[in-house]
Amino acid sequence: MKIGITGITGRMGRTIATFILQDAVVELASALVRQGFGHENDDLGEFLGFEKTGTKMTADIDQFVQSLDAVIDFSSPSLSLQIAAKCAENRKILVCGTTGFSEEEKQKFASYAQNTVIIWSSNMSLGVNLLMNFVEKAAAILHDDFDIEIVEMHHRNKVDAPSGTAFSLGAAAAKGRNVDLQKVGTTIRSGKDAKRIKGEIGFATLRGGDVIGDHSVIFAGDGERIELTHKASNRDIFAKGAIRAAIWGSAKQPGFYGMRDVLV
């Protein structure tokens, strides 16, 4: 399977590309870079610190997509929408881990799955997706006398807050309780009149250092508290999950899938 990577100059893109180069099942066939930011036509293997592969990096999206079976995309909402459109047009698999979409952008992005396989997840790790299953089940079992709070921490340079993974965990909790997260979720709690509303799902965001990703879902009741936590110690888990998703997608019909589908 021939895979292309977006965001190759970023930490996540480099990690995924390095794993693909060392994998016997998949091939690193192309990489997309920003136009005018350098590295256009650079050898991909040499850029990553390996021997030359003969594969050139490109800033041309059309050229990038043509030579591939699948794209792995960890970039920005605006670029991910462009990539999704091209993948749909050319019937290429898209594995996307981009977060920070607006509701309108999410709907537009998902619409491209009518014509191709799109696998989107806010977090590609096995552990986090198992955590989502646990959270959904716990929320369904524990009555609403248990308050749900979600705490996440990432490195100082992360742009969106709360994280996409935090929102996905909130969605899992809301599904377990059979409620609408948009109605019960809150990311703002401050001031003199900030008393907790019964049934709401709260989000707290921490930023600092080089933290890759810590997520905790707290079920707080009277006299007891349950905390479900996942901590990422390196980005390898996301790279492995993304590659696994691309291979899985090769046997699927067009549709919008999540990482939890891949793990079933």
**In whole angstroms, what is the distance from residue 243 CA to residue 249 CA?**
10
pLDDT value at residue 211: 96
End-to-end Cα spacing for the chain: 22
Angle separating helix axes 236-249 and 126-141, nearest 10 degrees:
90
Asked if 154 is an active-site residue, the reply is yes
- Predicted TM-score of the model (pTM): 0.81
CA distances from 195 to 109, 202, 227, 255 (A): 37, 12, 22, 42
Q: Which CATH class is domain 2-120+236-263?
A: alpha beta
Which residue ranges does the chain devote to CATH 3.40.50.720? 2-120+236-263
**CA 175 from centre of chain:** 19
Altogether, the residues listed in the chain come to a count of 264
**In whole angstroms, what is the distance from residue 57 CA to residue 59 CA?**
7
pLDDT value at residue 26: 94
Catalytic residue among 86, 154, 215, 230: 154
Helix (H) or strand (E) holding 58: strand 57-58
pLDDT value at residue 222: 96
- C-beta of residue 30 within 8 angstroms of C-beta of residue 55: yes
Q: Tokens at residue 143, please?
A: 């009555």
- C-beta of residue 33 within 8 angstroms of C-beta of residue 57: yes
pLDDT value at residue 39: 80
Which residue ranges does the chain devote to CATH 3.30.360.10? 126-233
pLDDT value at residue 55: 85
Catalytic residue among 39, 56, 108, 158: 158
Q: Tokens at residue 96, please?
A: 């996307």
Identity (one letter) of the amino acid at 206? L
Tell me the Cα Rg of the chain: 20
pLDDT value at residue 114: 98
Domain 126-233 has CATH 3.30.360.10: yes
pLDDT tens-digit profile, the chain (264 residues): 999 999 888 888 899 999 998 888 999 999 999 877 778 888 888 988 888 888 889 999 999 998 899 999 999 999 999 999 999 999 999 999 998 899 999 999 999 999 999 999 989 998 999 999 999 999 999 988 999 999 999 999 998 899 999 999 999 999 999 999 999 999 988 888 889 999 999 999 999 999 999 999 999 999 999 999 999 999 899 999 999 999 999 999 999 999 989 987
- C-beta of residue 180 within 8 angstroms of C-beta of residue 173: no
pLDDT value at residue 235: 87
pLDDT value at residue 99: 87
